[in-house]
Amino acid sequence: MNAQKTLEIREILNDIKSGLTDFEVIEKHRLSCEELKQALRELVNTRLLTPREAFLRSIFYDQTLETERRRAVPREPLLLLIPVYDMKSPENAGLLTDVSEIGCGVRGISANPGQRLRLAIDSKELSLSELIVFDALCCWSVTNVPDAEPVAGFEIINIGESDKQRLKDLVRFITFSSE
């Protein structure tokens, strides 16, 4: 590895350790998604990052960075802990990682692509409303990482009008809170 590449990999590591998101690292270093994935693999190969640390980066478990420009409705990343659970199996529960009016990302709920779940978002602790309930289709999931919670992305396929309004209020609240 040449000195310039080593320096760039170290800078990427420093940015990751300082809390930059994948998108911020991509922007700062003018990388493609694939180049960032390669840099993360390099950091793992040189033992500067553990496989778990690298894999749990959104670029490996979520297609947000690659699809955000195509999305009609961008998802809002969450800095708040908002519980969500499967109505049919309440023990299948987790936390929202991002949300929009048409979908959400969840950490902790086990689901397979193509599986339909009736999900409930519990935003009561935010003093926003009662439960927000909707039918969701799992679009992608990662469930096979040792010592890591499952992560999944869901498309909202059916939601009642009152729940839709509460979801809009939640998204508006999150957008306002992150500004």
**What CATH number does residue 148 fall under?**
2.40.10.220
- Domain of residue 22, residue span: 3-67
Residue type for position 151: V
Residue 40 to residue 56: CA distance in whole angstroms: 11
Q: What is the pTM of this model?
A: 0.59
Dihedral sign, Cα of residue 161, residue 163, residue 169, residue 172: negative
Number of structural domains the chain divides into: 2
What's the rounded mean pLDDT across residues 98-123? 91
80 & 137 share domain? yes
Write down the mean pLDDT value for the chain: 80
What's the rounded mean pLDDT across residues 10-24? 85
87 vs 175, residue with greater confidence: 87
- Identify the band that residue 77 occupies on the pLDDT scale cut at 50, 70 and 90: low
Kindly state the tokens that stand for 96: 């929202």
Looking at mean pLDDT, say which of 37-46, 56-65, 99-108 comes out highest.
99-108
104 & 160 share domain? yes
17 & 92 share domain? no
Please, where are the H alpha helices in the chain?
3-17, 22-29, 33-45, 51-55, 58-61, 64-67, 161-177
